[in-house]
């Protein structure tokens, strides 16, 4: 007999305590909405915790969006952090966010959700033998847990595995390594291989545009946000020209001619790989065709003898504890702001959008919106119904007018400006208060100006540390 359901219909359930789950908990707390939160790991941080079993994190991983742009709204990363912090600093930041909002005492750690069944009056959550019914459920369990595995004919003699299980360059030392796929993880791991492997190759199916992490000494995303918003017809060629001037012709390095324009695929941000390619420590090779004994045969006929094939081929975006029929294309074409269900008032999905910028600020905004809807569902059902009716009848173009390459990754790809505008529109529609966001960009420009002035005044002085000695203090209170 199925266990009797525990009635929790006075509250919501957040599944996951990674960045999305933490942002959601802080937003529900701020809106005074009661909730439970369940996390299968023993602590907060999601995939940024390299100890979280199954996390795709590896020792050399750093943010690819800058610390300036990557912070939650109103909770900046410490100014003492480098422009692109390593994974352990991101984890420390996430923990400080949880502490500042007193979130940890409300989390049930070590509990995995097995199934979620939304229905008219709420949603049922299965946790082992326990069955609970909530007013609503927010799925915040991330998209980087189920490897996408390509298959090729032939039986390889080399070890073949997905990069999800990759942790350290020690795994590559002295081996002939082929990395398949040139997303940001593939590029990082190719750099690890370039340093320690006896031979390093990266197999690419198509050409990509490199985007440098800094433009004129400023993080690329800060640079992009600092200028005026250009119309798409001008932005794309101008940015393409800038990249060409900064990076040069990558076809000399073996990169195939991209079949798309810059900004029409997820940006490949890796300066080190360019350097390794230029020094011949790693080589770009063609797409894999098949395995033939000890060799990998490529589409251009080249044969490579390798010991280890690492598949940096991405992840399947799915929610394993939810019947996909319940989503019913909710994420398609950026519908419903990526967070709401077409069918159920009680189902929310946070953190599943693939964005061409930093994710955390959007998690803050979307969680604030979900929190408003949740509060309305409990206290003002007419307003909640009015909002959801409007949302379901409105279509948003979250691609920002870009024509994206037709890969699985880009199926639900979202432009950060389009998403921000659409979210603002939703807040305006209901006259809800937009979450306060101090303009961190101006703060950064101010620091830059200060440092430049300090540089000028130091001309001719003894070299000394230009920043005041500060501990790597993390913010402790929400601002």
Ligand X SMILES: Cc1cc2nc3c(=O)[nH]c(=O)nc-3n(C[C@H](O)[C@H](O)[C@H](O)COP(=O)(O)OP(=O)(O)OC[C@H]3O[C@@H](n4cnc5c(N)ncnc54)[C@H](O)[C@@H]3O)c2cc1C
Positions that interact with ligand X (CB under 6 A): 15-21, 38-41, 46-48, 52, 56, 61, 63-65, 70, 112-113, 140-142, 144, 185, 321, 351, 358-360
CB of 53: closest distance to ligand X in angstroms?
8
354: enclosing H helix or E strand: strand 354-355
Q: What is the largest CA-CA distance in the chain?
A: 82
Q: Which is nearer to ligand X, 101 or 176 (CB)?
A: 101
DSSP symbols for 95-150: HHHHHHTT-GGGEEET----EEEEETTEEEEEETTEEEEEEEEEE---S-SSB---
Handedness of CA 87, 89, 92, 94 (dihedral sign): negative
Q: Which is nearer to ligand X, 86 or 261 (CB)?
A: 86
CB of 298: closest distance to ligand X in angstroms?
26
Q: Which is nearer to ligand X, 20 or 398 (CB)?
A: 20
Q: Which is nearer to ligand X, 184 or 226 (CB)?
A: 184
CB of 270: closest distance to ligand X in angstroms?
12
Q: Which is nearer to ligand X, 31 or 64 (CB)?
A: 64
Cα–Cα distance, 280 to 299 (Å, whole number) = 22
CB of 142: closest distance to ligand X in angstroms?
2
CB of 469: closest distance to ligand X in angstroms?
28
Cβ atoms of 258 and 271 closer than 8 Å:
no
Q: Which two tokens stand for residue 343?
A: 């069918």
Helix, strand and coil content of the chain, in percent to the nearest 5, comes to 35, 20, 45
Q: Which two tokens stand for residue 375?
A: 């509060």
Q: Which is nearer to ligand X, 15 or 370 (CB)?
A: 15
Q: Which two tokens stand for residue 151?
A: 């298959």
- Would you put residue 418 in left (φ > 0), alpha (ψ -120 to 50) or beta? alpha
Q: Which is nearer to ligand X, 109 or 427 (CB)?
A: 109
Cα–Cα distance, 479 to 73 (Å, whole number) = 9
Assign 391 to helix, strand or coil: helix
**Side-chain half-sphere CA neighbours of 127 within 13 A:** 22
Q: Which is nearer to ligand X, 56 or 400 (CB)?
A: 56
CB of 148: closest distance to ligand X in angstroms?
13
CB of 350: closest distance to ligand X in angstroms?
7
Cα–Cα distance, 52 to 45 (Å, whole number) = 9
CB of 82: closest distance to ligand X in angstroms?
13
Is residue 373 packed enough to be buried (19+ CB in 10 Å), middle (13-18) or exposed (0-12)?
Answer: buried
162: enclosing H helix or E strand: strand 159-162
Q: What is the dihedral of CA 360, 366, 368, 369, to 10 degrees?
A: 170
CB of 269: closest distance to ligand X in angstroms?
8
CB of 257: closest distance to ligand X in angstroms?
27
Handedness of CA 241, 247, 252, 258 (dihedral sign): negative
Q: Which is nearer to ligand X, 67 or 176 (CB)?
A: 67
Q: Which is nearer to ligand X, 20 or 263 (CB)?
A: 20
Closest CA relative to residue 36, chosen from 122, 141, 132, 120:
132
CB of 65: closest distance to ligand X in angstroms?
4
Q: Which is nearer to ligand X, 107 or 253 (CB)?
A: 107
């Amino acid at each position: 007999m199925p266990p009797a359901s525990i009635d929790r219909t006075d509250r919501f359930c957040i599944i996951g305590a990674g960045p999305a789950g933490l942002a959601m908990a802080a937003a529900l707390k701020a809106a005074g909405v009661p909730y439970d939160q369940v996390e299968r790991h023993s602590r907060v941080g999601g995939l940024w915790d390299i100890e979280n079993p199954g996390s795709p994190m590896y020792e050399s991983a750093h943010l690819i969006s800058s610390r300036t742009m990557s912070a939650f709204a109103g909770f900046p990363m410490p100014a003492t952090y480098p422009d692109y912090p390593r994974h352990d600093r991101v984890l420390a930041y996430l923990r400080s966010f949880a502490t500042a909002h007193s979130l940890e005492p409300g989390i049930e750690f070590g509990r995995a959700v097995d199934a979620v069944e939304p229905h008219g009056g709420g949603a049922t959550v299965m946790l082992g033998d326990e069955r609970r019914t909530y007013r609503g459920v927010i799925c915040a369990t991330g998209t980087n847990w189920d490897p996408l595995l390509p298959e090729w004919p032939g039986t390889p003699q080399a070890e073949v595995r997905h990069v999800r299980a990759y942790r350290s360059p020690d795994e590559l030392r002295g081996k002939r390594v082929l990395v398949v796929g040139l997303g940001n993880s593939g590029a990082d791991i190719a750099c690890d291989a370039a340093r320690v492997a006896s031979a390093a190759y990266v197999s690419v199916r198509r050409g990509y545009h490199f985007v440098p992490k800094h433009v004129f000494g400023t993080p690329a995303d800060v640079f992009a946000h600092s200028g005026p918003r250009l119309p798409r017809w001008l932005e794309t060629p101008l940015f393409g020209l800038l990249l060409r001037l900064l990076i040069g012709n990558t076809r000399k390095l073996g990169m195939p001619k991209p079949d798309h324009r810059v900004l029409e695929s997820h940006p490949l941000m890796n300066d080190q790989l360019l350097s390794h390619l230029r020094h011949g420590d790693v080589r770009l090779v063609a797409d894999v065709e098949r395995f033939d004994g000890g060799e990998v045969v490529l589409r251009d006929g080249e044969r490579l003898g390798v010991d280890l094939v690492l598949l940096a081929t991405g992840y399947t975006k799915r929610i394993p504890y939810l019947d996909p029929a319940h989503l019913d294309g909710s994420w398609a074409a950026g519908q419903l702001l990526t967070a709401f269900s077409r069918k159920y008032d009680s189902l929310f999905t946070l953190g599943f959008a693939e964005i061409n910028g930093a994710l955390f600020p959007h998690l803050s905004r979307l969680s604030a919106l979900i929190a408003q809807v949740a509060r309305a569902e409990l206290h003002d059902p007419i307003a909640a119904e009015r909002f959801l009716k409007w949302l379901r009848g409105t279509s948003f173009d979250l691609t920002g007018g870009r024509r994206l390459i037709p890969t699985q990754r880009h199926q639900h790809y979202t432009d950060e400006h389009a998403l921000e505008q659409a979210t603002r529109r939703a807040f305006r529609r209901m006259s809800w208060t937009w979450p306060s966001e101090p303009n961190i960009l101006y703060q950064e420009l101010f620091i830059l100006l200060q440092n430049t002035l300090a540089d000028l005044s130091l001309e001719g002085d003894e070299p000394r540390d230009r920043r005041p000695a500060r501990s790597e203090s993390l913010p402790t209170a929400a601002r």
